[in-house]
Amino acid sequence: MHCKRRMCSGLAIFLLTAALIVVYMQMNHYNFIVHTDSTHIKELLSESNQTFTTVPPESPRACSCTKCISEKGVSAWFDKRFNSSTQPLLTAKDDNLPQPALSWWLALQQSHIDVKVNEVVAEVFAVLPGTDQDMTGDPSQCRRCAVVGNSGNLRGSIYGNLIDSHDVVMRMNKAVTSGFESDVGRKTTHHFLYPESAIDLPADVHLVLVPFKTLDLQWIASALSTGQITKTYMEVKQFIKADKDKVMVISPAFLKYVNDKWTEHHGRYPSTGMLAVIFALHTCDEVSVFGYGADVNGNWHHYWEENKYASAFRKTGVHSADFETETLKKLVEEGKIRLYTPERTARPINKYIRKT
């Protein structure tokens, strides 16, 4: 009886041990299956994302507008031309401009190739301490800009209040507002000019110099200090009234970029008006364009001129008015700008844009 008890005890221990071994093997087999299945699932997910996809976090918007100019993927035509890394303004750091841009720029109006551009740039920034201005847009804002040309199609347009409602209003050359406020507005924040088209500006306006030659750079430094330069290829203002801290200078590299990408070498170089539009594309979130092109009768003239048959702009051969006009129309088609027509009612040619 005692022996039987020992045998039973041994048998029980054996059975218990065997059971533990079976349980252990099953657990290891389960772990192996789970690991294998997990690995297999991961492999399937890496091979196909048709069913299981990882959604990347939404990229931050370029601005707070409904549509932002710099957003990519909206227009292939625009994305091919627009380069957000191209900076519009010349800064004190640009004492060594890219050689292709520099060579092209110096050849525009036969500037002397022996001119030391780095010394000229240093001369400019010795007079303009505030020119290094940050043009980076604030993504929390919607910066609405109006670019106002000088076309006679503004006469009788009654665009004045609409133009003034924009955050930024850009004008150019010898543009005047006095006496034409109902059509062109009163507000100006940026005024584009070059020595031969210079006018005095109020202290709250940014003078934006478009330099077509090295002498233009030297002129702005002179006109705001010593007054040594009084003539380029014609007599120019010896002094100019403007706030030095608000003066901006368009980079020669930006001029070449507009010539290469936007006017595509039509004309010798882009017009001031075209440069202002592309500048706006780089610094604004929404752009409305007024006063470009011919009037309703097909005539080219300035809105303050009585001679409605002046057409010097089209006859110079320096700029290609036709190509620049087509580029503006394409920007409209691609939804990047609002272009207002020479009609007497204030509405854009974009039929999908609401009246303001």
- 270-292 pLDDT, tens digit per residue, is 999 999 999 999 999 999 999 99
pLDDT digits (tens, 9 = 90+) for 124-179: 999 998 655 656 667 788 999 999 999 999 999 999 999 999 999 999 999 999 99
Is 303 catalytic? The answer is: no
Around 80, how many Cα atoms within 13 Å sit in the side-chain half-sphere? 8
Residue tagged active-site, from 269, 292, 303, 340? 269
Place of tokens 């980079």: 251
Residue 37 has pLDDT above 90, yes or no: no
pLDDT reported for residue 188: 98
Candidate ranges 85-94, 129-138, 215-224, 333-342; pick with highest mean pLDDT: 215-224
Q: What is the pLDDT of residues 178-193, one digit of tens each?
A: 999 999 999 999 999 9
Q: How many residues does the chain have?
A: 356
- Strands 190-193 and 168-172 come out as parallel
What per-residue confidence (pLDDT) applies to 136? 60
Catalytic residue among 159, 206, 319, 340: 319
269 an active-site residue? yes
Give the Cβ contact number of residue 225 at 10 Å.
14
Average pLDDT over residues 253-262: 97
Q: How far is CA 172 from the centre of its chain?
A: 18
Q: How confident is the model over 51-92, as pLDDT tens digits?
A: 222 333 334 557 899 889 999 999 999 999 999 999 999 998
